[in-house]
């Protein structure tokens, strides 16, 4: 009998963080990822664990299959989502994310099988033979799925990483400029074609569509600066949000908010703001 076969938690619990990591990158939702992993644990309890030679591979397959089923309903929910959709923010002290926020958005455009093949091979390093067993396709088909996915997401992968400290400095400078109303300082940080994505999910005020261009963004922040003077927001922490430099704030309504920045050549090219309280619960 393999180690821990008599106690499912003994063999499962050390693998839980890795499994949640796989599920989150598949689903973009912390709650859905945790639900998928918990369902995998229930199935693990009922499995013939003594017959499983590689628990991690077995459980990763189980979680991936559960996520593929979940993506079918998730796709429908996102089609009816109010305003722009962003993945749940994961905030870290270090930029350890192997799947950044822009890449996660690019993955949304893939089919569930393409997404699985790309993540399992390119991110988690599985062989196409392993992936074939997981998604019930032959290895050649899995190779083609990953190749097709790679072509779709190529532009979403950073051409070079912004230096860690510089990224955090830009994030702090953005907070200071937007809250003080210093539009000159803010304008100096923005690329001409900067875009801003804001997810309120219909639960809190947020832009209902993408805001494109530095001029439009400055106009928005002039108005917001007036509001911040009356109803200030507080900087909670600076860090990395889904692999991008950013910060967490406590807004005047008492809710948390995350802001993340895609930076190229020292300029902000994209801003991602999460305001949906349902997607911020795990940060409390």
Res. 158: pLDDT tops 70: no
**pLDDT at residue 1, as a whole number:** 41
Res. 182: pLDDT tops 90: yes
Alpha helix segments (H runs only) across 15-96? 16-27, 30-46, 55-79
pTM given for the model = 0.90
Residue 4 CA: distances (Å) to CA of 9, 37, 71, 155:
8, 18, 32, 44
Res. 4: pLDDT tops 50: no
- pLDDT class of 3 with cuts at 50, 70, 90: very low
For the residues 239-264, what does the mean pLDDT come to?
96
**pLDDT at residue 73, as a whole number:** 75
**pLDDT at residue 72, as a whole number:** 78
Least confident range of 24-28, 77-81, 172-176, 276-280: 77-81
Least confident range of 114-123, 161-170, 219-228: 161-170
For the residues 45-51, what does the mean pLDDT come to?
91
> What burial letters (b/e) apply to 204-218, b meaning 16+ CB within 10 Å?
bebbeeebeebeebe
Q: Which residues pair with 244 in a beta bridge?
A: 241
Least confident range of 87-101, 113-127, 201-215, 264-278: 87-101
Q: Identify which of 270, 185, 180, 177 has the alpha carbon closest to the alpha carbon of residue 226.
A: 180
**pLDDT at residue 270, as a whole number:** 96
- Please state, rounded to an integer, the average pLDDT across all residues of the chain: 92
Res. 5: pLDDT tops 70: no
**pLDDT at residue 2, as a whole number:** 44
Res. 8: pLDDT tops 70: yes
């Amino acid at each position: 009998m393999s180690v821990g076969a008599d106690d499912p938690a003994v063999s499962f619990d050390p693998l839980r963080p890795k499994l949640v990591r796989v599920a989150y990158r598949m689903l973009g939702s912390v709650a859905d990822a945790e639900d998928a992993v918990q369902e995998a644990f229930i199935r693990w309890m009922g499995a013939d664990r003594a017959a499983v030679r590689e628990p991690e591979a077995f459980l990763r397959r189980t979680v991936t299959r559960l996520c593929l089923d979940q993506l079918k309903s998730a796709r429908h929910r996102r089609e009816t989502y109010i305003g722009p959709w962003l993945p749940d923010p994961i905030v870290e002290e270090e930029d350890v994310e192997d799947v950044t926020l822009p890449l996660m958005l690019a993955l949304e455009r893939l089919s569930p099988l393409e997404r699985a093949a790309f993540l399992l091979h390119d991110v988690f390093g599985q062989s196409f033979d392993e992936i074939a067993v997981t998604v019930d396709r032959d290895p050649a088909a899995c190779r083609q799925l990953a190749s097709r996915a790679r072509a779709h997401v190529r532009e979403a992968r950073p051409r070079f990483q912004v230096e860690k400290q510089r990224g955090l400095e830009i994030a702090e400078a953005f907070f200071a400029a937007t809250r003080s109303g210093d539009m000159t300082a803010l304008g100096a940080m923005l690329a001409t074609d900067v875009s801003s994505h804001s997810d309120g999910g219909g639960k809190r005020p947020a832009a209902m569509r993408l805001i494109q261009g530095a001029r439009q963004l400055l106009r928005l922040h002039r108005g917001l600066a007036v509001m911040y003077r009356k109803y200030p927001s507080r900087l909670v922490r600076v860090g990395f949000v889904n692999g991008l430099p950013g910060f967490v704030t406590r807004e005047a309504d008492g809710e948390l908010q995350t802001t993340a920045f895609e930076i190229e050549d020292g300029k902000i090219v994209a801003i991602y703001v999460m305001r949906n309280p349902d997607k911020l619960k795990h940060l409390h």
